[in-house]
């Protein structure tokens, strides 16, 4: 497979060390690209739920692949998230072409881009960390159960479906939280003069232009590698959101991409 050259690739919320992580699919994605910069936007290794008895070879292969990319010219920037927050005590460490940071601002073709995980907006993590960790375990078990359900559905010749997505979309508080997250991130970015704000954390892949009285910015979220299997890519002065498919990597549906590209060029 010919590798696609990219200026920047962004992935987040991989959750290595958990049952929900789609490490094999992520490896296929990383094998298909040759980015100048690879930004790991938090929750790559799930330290909260790390257990010695469960860390498959494919999860280790993801780490080896990232190291390999760095040794072959890719600048790797690891931004810490809430599930790998123990790494924050080592922030600003640089090993070869791998940097460990909490956030970063880059200039992309004359426009400032602000990258950070996004858990700073989550009061449940800041104030009741034990409750957030408990929720993480519950989410992992839900994903495991969902895989079993989907295995049965495939055997019956029916389509797979996501229990967690169904729950999120049906709970008004969850929908409101996602909307609030996007609005707060965008408002802060506009106030500080950033044209792009790039987050993870909420597992909701998104590219949307946010506008208020003070200006506008492009809000981007790289999604995750548990449910959505998505990545953000920056090339030729444009951002695109890519979704994993077994046969290839293609943008989300054509209508969505046309909306994204018009927003990006605006």
Q: Domain holding 168: CATH number? A: 3.60.21.10
Strand-pairing partners, residue 242, are 231, 251
**Choice between 54 and 136, residue whose per-residue pLDDT is larger:** 54
Please state, in angstroms and rounded to a whole number, the distance separating the CA atoms of residues 62 and 207: 26
Residue 221 phi/psi, 5-degree rounding, is: -135, 130
pLDDT reported for residue 253? 47
Share the mean pLDDT of the chain: 82
The model's pLDDT over 193-249, given as tens digits with 9 standing for 90+, comes to 999 999 999 999 999 999 999 999 999 999 999 989 999 999 999 999 999 987 764
User: What is the pairing mode between strands 4-11 and 33-41?
Assistant: parallel
Q: How confident is the model at residue 260 (pLDDT cuts 50, 70, 90)?
A: very low
Please state, in angstroms and rounded to a whole number, the distance separating the CA atoms of residues 214 and 32: 40
Are the beta carbons of 235 and 24 closer than 8 angstroms?
Answer: no
pLDDT reported for residue 178? 73
Please state, in angstroms and rounded to a whole number, the distance separating the CA atoms of residues 43 and 140: 14
Are the beta carbons of 117 and 41 closer than 8 angstroms?
Answer: yes
Other beta carbons within 10 Å of 129: 13
Q: Which domain holds residue 59?
A: 4-265
Other beta carbons within 10 Å of 29: 20
Please state, in angstroms and rounded to a whole number, the distance separating the CA atoms of residues 140 and 142: 5
The total number of structural domains in the chain stands at: 1
Are the beta carbons of 129 and 41 closer than 8 angstroms?
Answer: no
Write down the pTM of the prediction. Answer: 0.77
**Choice between 52 and 95, residue whose per-residue pLDDT is larger:** 95
Contacts of 234 (CB under 8 A, 6+ apart): 6, 7, 8, 9, 10, 108, 240
The model's pLDDT over 96-143, given as tens digits with 9 standing for 90+, comes to 889 999 999 999 999 999 999 998 876 543 444 433 444 455 556 656
Please state, in angstroms and rounded to a whole number, the distance separating the CA atoms of residues 166 and 161: 8
Q: By 3-state DSSP, what share of the chain in percent is helix, strand and coil, each rounded to 5?
A: 40, 30, 30
3 state DSSP class of 77: strand
Q: What DSSP line would sit under 144-194, residue for residue?
A: HHHHHHHHHHHHTT-----HHHHHHHH-HHHHHHHHHHHHHHHHHHHHTT-
């Amino acid at each position: 497979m010919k590798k696609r050259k990219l200026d920047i690739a962004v992935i987040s919320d991989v959750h290595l060390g958990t049952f929900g992580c789609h490490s094999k699919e992520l490896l296929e994605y990383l094998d298909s690209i040759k980015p100048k910069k690879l930004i790991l936007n938090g929750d790559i290794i799930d330290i909260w739920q790390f257990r010695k008895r469960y860390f498959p070879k494919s999860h280790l292969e993801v780490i080896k692949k990232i190291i390999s990319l760095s040794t072959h010219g890719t600048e790797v920037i690891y931004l810490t998230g809430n599930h790998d927050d123990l790494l924050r005590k080592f922030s600003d460490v640089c090993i070869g072409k791998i940097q460990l940071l909490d956030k970063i601002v880059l200039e992309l073709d004359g426009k400032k881009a602000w990258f950070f995980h996004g858990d700073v907006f989550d009061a449940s993590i800041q104030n009741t960390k034990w409750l957030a960790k408990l929720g993480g375990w519950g989410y992992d078990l839900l994903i495991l159960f969902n895989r079993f359900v989907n295995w049965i559905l495939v055997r019956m010749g029916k389509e797979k479906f996501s229990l967690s997505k169904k729950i999120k979309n049906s709970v008004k508080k969850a929908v409101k939280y996602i909307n609030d997250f996007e609005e707060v991130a965008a408002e802060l970015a506009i106030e500080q003069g950033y044209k792009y704000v790039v987050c993870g954390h909420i597992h909701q892949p998104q590219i949307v232009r946010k506008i208020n009285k003070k200006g506008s910015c492009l809000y981007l979220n790289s999604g995750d590698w548990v449910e959505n299997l998505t990545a953000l890519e920056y090339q030729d002065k444009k951002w695109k959101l890519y979704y994993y498919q077994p046969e290839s990597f293609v943008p989300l549906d054509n209508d969505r991409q046309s909306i994204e590209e018009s927003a990006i060029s605006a």
